A and B are shown apart, each in its own frame.
Chain A
Amino acid sequence: MADALQPAGAAATRGLPTPVRTEAEVLACQPEGGANRRLVLRVPGWPGFAPGQFAMLSPGALGGAPRSDPLLPRPMAVYRAPGGDGEVEILFKVTGRGTRLLADALPGQRVRFVGPLGLAFADPEPEERAILVAGGTGIASLYALARRLARAGGPGVEVLLGARSGADLMGRDDFAALDVRLHTATEDGSEGSRGLVTALLEAALQEGAPARVYACGPTAMMRRVAELAAARDRPCVVSLENAMACGFGVCLGCAAPLRGGGFALVCRDGPVLDAAAVDWERMP
């Protein structure tokens, strides 16, 4: 599934696997630099995924004393699924109580898992370079795409990763092992160039060859990426990270305003959306 080529466009909708609802077993939960963690799960009945899809994870392990606080599952990008035996990796950052509890999950414990959900990244046109821009936890959303595009060959894959500090650059070594051009930027200058990852994008867009931009990160970053791509007339897709309660189109909580009016549901119509379609002014 992960290797099936998808038609060009903002998001790929065809051939996506049917999601499962299950209890996944925690195989490991390891430090991943800074406040980041790498959660390795075994997901019974795992149907595979396409890059860009996500899953909903219960805030902490199940079992023991029943707990209703925090209440809602957390949407998290599927980072990769090595092995094909239901092993799924999720990279996340501890930002609050739900992610703190998830970080404390021990091997052998279970977490509720619903996924994979959402639409996937479409591939670039054959003549297009791919420029992947990620900030903070947005890095987790782009690894699977980088891996697939690197293996597919083509005019090249440029990966630009940004974070506050070098320690916060999740998955860096995984990206470095791929056949991609990797650049990093940190706000404190502790790794790569000092400054924002969007400065790296400005430089990357200077090259004249056709390119398609893929971005995931904080809203302000994605908005700037969208502006830079539009100024160079390059197609740009973003993977949005709006808060959501369900992940499969019923709570209607994750609405993203569209420039043409109305809303897209990030979970159902995204998370991958055409950056030019998003009304960034009205994004929360």
Chain B
Amino acid sequence: MSDAAAVDTRVDLGGIALRNPVLAASGTFGYGSEFEPFLDLRRLGGFVAKSLTLEPRAGNPPPRIAETPSGLLNAISLENVGVEAFIHQKLPAIPDGVTVIASVFETEIDRYAEVCKRLTGVARVAGIEINASCPHVKSGGIEFGQDPKLLAQLVRGARRATGLPLVIKLSPNVTDIAAMARVCEGEGANAVSLVNALQALEVDIETRRPVLSNVLGGLSGPAIRPLALRMVWQAARAVSIPVCGIGGIEGPADAVKFLLCGATAVQVGTSNYLDPGVAGQIADGIAAYAARHGVARLTDLVGALEGVPG
């Protein structure tokens, strides 16, 4: 087996059929069409669009981003066009044959559910990813994804609102990621994706100020990859629903690591900024790896990590 084209790359992410396991991550891929000059979107398994709120939302004042060692710190604050403009303006611009997962973000469960309802039945939406890393307004700002009870309520609300495949994107800002994944599975989620960005801080010692206007930001990029890999491995051992691995994937080798640690699919995030064609190369590279190692189906790599006791 040495022909990458002969490898069966198809995977099923909780009812979302993907031609290969490589998705582009929400918040790093716009609404897809921004990448058309650089990449045939059909080479990807699909992409997760920018998180949507009920109403359009403006972001934070600058500075919004800062470079850190092998990482990117950002506090954009989920600027987006709103769910209606997404459905009526952004979705129709996406070429046929591209699998689109919508991402939903809100400050209250009812509002999350409403956005899910509006996306349900829209032809191009293959599934919904719930961004659970938003601070819950009524609970004094703690993230939905940091409190198992809040997370359970959120997943329950979203589950009632839609019959679409539901992927819950988990926050890494927790002590026990496996417990969070179990909560999602228990409330009927079809898959979990992890990790979202790590809460982080960077400081300018000349001005003695935080580098971001928002003070805290989310850290992404290769700097967080080993931590993300650990959390994916723990989550995948804890649940039987599929896990989608996210965190600092730069190339095919990184993606393969996530598959071996139990991820059914992966999302490429920050690397899309560095090279807008990289996600396509990663999809091709995984198949080449499989061919090189005599693996006929990529699903055979999922959770195939060896040398782990117990």
Residues of A that sit less than 8 Å from B by CB: 18-21, 58, 66, 68-73, 112, 114, 242-246, 248-257, 262-263, 282-284
Contacts and interface: CB of A to CB of B under 8 A. Distances in A.
B273 A245 contact: yes
A191 to B, nearest CB: 29
A255 B62 contact: yes
Given A251-B65, A253-B74, A58 B274 contact: yes
24 contacts: A19-B38, A21-B38, A21-B275, A68-B70, A68-B221, A68-B222, A69-B70, A70-B67, A71-B221, A73-B274, A112-B274, A243-B66, A245-B65, A245-B74, A245-B270, A246-B276, A250-B29, A251-B28, A253-B64, A255-B60, A255-B62, A282-B61, A282-B62, A284-B62
B222 A71 contact: yes
Contact of A68 (B30, B79, B250): B250
Interface string B264-283: 00000010111111000000
A252 B59 contact: yes
B307 interface: no
Contacts of B61: 255, 257, 282
Nearest to B80: A252
B277 A21 contact: yes
A19 B272 contact: no
B295 to A, nearest CB: 24
B37 A250 contact: no
Contacts of B65: 243-245, 251, 253-254
Nearest to B60: A255
Among B29, B30, B61, B67, chain A packs the most CB atoms within 10 A around the CB of B67
A98 to B, nearest CB: 8
Contacts of B285: none
Nearest to B69: A69
B226 interface: no
B71 interface: yes
B176 interface: no
Nearest to B28: A250
Interface string B24-41: 000011100011011100
Give 4 nearest A-B pairs by CB, closest first: A253-B65, A250-B30, A246-B273, A68-B222
A283 B272 CA distance: 27
Contact of A283 (B30, B39, B62, B67): B62
- Residue of B29, B65, B66, B277 with most partner-chain A CB within 10 A: B65
A69 B61 CA distance: 26
A71 B37 contact: no
Contacts of B74: 245, 251, 253
A71 B72 CA distance: 8
Contacts of A70: 67
B179 to A, nearest CB: 31
B73 to A, nearest CB: 10
Interface string B201-240: 0000000000001000000011000000000000000000
A114 B58 contact: no
B246 interface: no
A249 B58 CA distance: 14
A66 to B, nearest CB: 8
Given A68-B222, A249-B30, A262-B58, A243 B274 contact: no
B76 interface: yes
A263 B59 contact: yes
B258 to A, nearest CB: 17
A255 to B, nearest CB: 5
Contacts of A253: 62, 64-65, 74, 76
A241 to B, nearest CB: 12
A244 B67 CA distance: 10
